[in-house]
Structure 1
């Protein structure tokens, strides 16, 4: 009687030939090894022979483990591991000193299994850890002074460390859908993002209805403050702030933008 197949899900086997054919040249000349959405369950050892690439995309697979040999990708600047089944990351990831983009969202990562050496990625600009099982954020991430964007949405966080909230270059901190004890924590984090949605608009760029609306609001504010409204004259709002709704959700745009900070 024939023996049954081995238990466990068997993923696609990636050969060196397949990997070489998956290298793409980006608009800025970077060499990207794109093995996303290929049904991979085990990190393909053959790609260690292609460790001179600038970008590595292993997203949307079924990987449960990233080996320490990831350190061989010394030139790596962009690493995408989102939407796998990762429960931890190797400490060796801290050796990727050129990394500026790291996406580990939509996995099974817990706080205790985050590598301590994550705080060694001094050039990191974008870090996405959303959709995991994190109940706290290591204060040591405050050492990543170049961080501009952090994704922490859909976790189990109840507080964000001040060392992270006060990063000097941080422009966007997404903490949506976490069980904060009150809304204050989320509002403080979100305020960083809201500042980025404003820009200066000169009076000449506004239509007459917008100018009238702004004047009406200003008059209302003056009345509340018991200050007589200014004499009727042509309104002037040289420093008026208005919302800018152009949200950049495309990862490719992020990558190209952050390549030349």
Structure 2
């Protein structure tokens, strides 16, 4: 192999790309080019720039070109497990993006473009397994974030702006050289945040949600009223002669026994030529 040149990746033709389009369970069209041995962004897929999801994970891509801005319909973009050491500023033009996976690359703090903060619809951002030493405080402007992965980096501090993200539910900062007290503080804060997600003011709820909450509360109250107070369990009748007693047999067993005893006494007192009485157990 000539010096200075990397491995020659697989060439993706337009026909191959078209055959790689799948319809996801949510009805979106996903162009799945994962695990294809791609080393450079295939220009052929620009003909399919109207897809909603693009999977280029598990390849050998070092760069994403600025033509990524052509994919304006993208909602879901997976670039994990490549060799990316930078991102183009044009990634900030993908205003519909809600999911961005950049895990397991070679990204540094300097290689994260400020334009990432323009992705106001982003709900999931995975930056784990990279080379980040600090986190841009501007990521705190992504108010819709629900999941944020920063695990396996070189972080020594978490910006306060990330701690204040209003919708954050899952925040993974494991295996960073963070002070122990800060890791514990982050975990406790996240638990409190999740537990308080359901604490809202009544005036903040719409009519439908308010009625639903009231109905569930009333059902819970009724259930509590119906729950018997714990106490000594009443002794249940035992019928060893019945292997599988049903409700009728259980209710009438004592009556049958009394009748059967009376019949036997009557039979013993009667003469031999008297007619026999029929027993309920016959």
**Residues in 2 aligned to 1:49 and 1:59: alpha-carbon distance in whole angstroms:** 20
Deviations 1:121-175 (A, max 9, x none): 0000000000000000011011100000100000000011110111010111100
User: Retained in 2: the 8 A contact 1:125–1:149?
Assistant: yes
What's 1:11 paired with? 9
| Residues 1:168 and 2:166 aligned together | yes
Aligned-partner Cα distance in 2 for 1:72–1:184:
45
Match of 2:53 in 1: 55
1:186 pairs with 2:186: no
The equivalent of 1:128 in structure 2 is 126
Runs of 4+ in 1 over 2 A off after TM superposition: 4-7, 188-200
Query: Shift of the alpha carbon at 1:19?
Result: 0.3
Structure 1 residues 193 and 57 mapped into 2: Cα distance closer, same or farther (>3 Å)?
farther
Contact 1:170 1:192 in 2 (8 A): no
Q: Which has the higher helix share?
A: 2
Higher relative contact order (CA 8 A, sep 6+): 1
Cα distance in 2 for partners of 1:126, 1:65 equals: 21
Q: Which runs of 5+ in 1 are unaligned?
A: 203-232, 236-261
**Aligned position for 1:144:** 142
CA deviation after TM superposition for structure 1 residue 193, in Å: 4.9
The Cα of 1:194 is off from its aligned counterpart by 4.0
Alpha-carbon deviation of 1:197?
A: 8.8
Instruction: Identify if the C-alpha distance between structure 1 residues 170 and 12 changes in structure 2 by more than 3 Å, giving closer, same or farther.
Output: same
In terms of Rg, which structure is larger?
2
Aligned residue pairs, count: 202
Post-superposition shift, 1:28?
1.3
In structure 2, distance between residues paired with 1:22 and 1:106: 23
Q: Does 2:88 align with 1:102?
A: no
Query: Partner of 2:78 in structure 1?
Result: 80
Query: Unaligned 5+ residue runs, structure 2?
Result: 199-219, 221-228, 232-282
CA 26–177 in structure 1, closer or farther in 2 if over 3 Å, else same: same
Structure-1 residue corresponding to 2:223: none
Deviation per CA, 1:238-259: give whole Å up to 9, x if none: xxxxxxxxxxxxxxxxxxxxxx
Structure 1 contact 153–176 (Cα < 8 Å) conserved = yes
Question: Is 1:119 aligned with 2:113?
Answer: no
